[in-house]
Amino acid sequence: MEMGNLHKLIEVKKQELIKLVEKYGFTHKQVLY
């Protein structure tokens, strides 16, 4: 797999995770740190 495609996939998954987390009332910093 190309690195560019992999990076894009990671970004999409990160955005999905952030949305899911915000839905449950967490901030994205609390998740990352």
One-character DSSP codes across 1-33: --HHHHHHHHHHHHHHHHHHHHHTT--HHHHH-
Between 5 and 23, where is the model more confident?
5
Amino acid identity, position 5: N
User: Higher model confidence: residue 29 or residue 20?
Assistant: 20
The string of pLDDT tens digits covering residues 13-24 is 999 988 887 787
Distance of CA 16 to the CA centre of its chain: 5
Query: For the chain, what are the domain ranges?
Result: 3-32
Q: Which residue's entry shows tokens 């999409």?
A: 12
Burial (CB count within 10 angstroms: exposed 0-12, middle 13-18, buried 19+), residue 12? exposed
pTM comes to 0.52
Identify whether the C-beta of residue 17 lies closer than 8 Å to the C-beta of residue 7.
no
Residue 29 has pLDDT above 80, yes or no: no
